[in-house]
């Protein structure tokens, strides 16, 4: 099982950028698909981005495509989410997640989860 700890959240102006990090521990990190989800107050958790275990394929929700970039460094046991051109609809608690496969991760099938990091966007 992978243990996940997010960092990098904070307050940023609309149009600005933030980079979230997720530090992973556990033997299975390099074999795991990784992803990011977010949950805004009063809304359901939604998938944001995913990356395969090798990093050769990435997937994005339409709402963030072209603005957010997911990446990973298996040597550092870390996954990142670079968020650019942040919009007023982006504020949420952002969660890192792990799963054996991307499809399972996006479908939230027995994901491992981090505790979340808050992203706030001021207009």
Q: In this structure, are residues 71 and 54 in contact, taking their beta carbons and an 8 Å threshold?
A: no
Average pLDDT, the chain: 96
Residue 30 reports pLDDT greater than 80: yes
pLDDT of residue 35: 98
For the segment 56-71, the average pLDDT, to the nearest whole number, is 98
In 3D, which of 58, 88, 114 has the Cα closest to residue 49? 58
Query: How far is 45 from 109, CA to CA, in rounded Å?
Result: 14
Q: Sorting pLDDT into bands at 50, 70 and 90, what band is 12?
A: very high
Residue 48 CB: number of other CB atoms within 10 A?
Answer: 24
For the residues 100-112, what does the mean pLDDT come to? 94
């Amino acid at each position: 099982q992978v243990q996940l700890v997010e960092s990098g959240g904070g307050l940023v102006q609309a149009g600005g950028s933030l980079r979230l990090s997720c530090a992973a521990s556990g033997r299975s990190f390099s074999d795991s698909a990784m992803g990011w989800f977010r949950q805004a107050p009063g809304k359901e958790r939604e998938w944001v981005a995913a990356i395969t275990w090798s990093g050769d394929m990435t997937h994005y929700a339409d709402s963030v495509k072209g603005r957010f970039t997911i990446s990973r460094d298996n040597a550092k046991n870390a996954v990142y989410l670079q968020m650019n051109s942040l919009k007023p609809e982006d504020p949420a608690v952002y969660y890192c997640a792990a799963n054996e496969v991307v499809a399972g991760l996006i479908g939230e099938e027995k994901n491992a989860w981090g505790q979340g990091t808050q992203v706030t966007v001021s207009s």
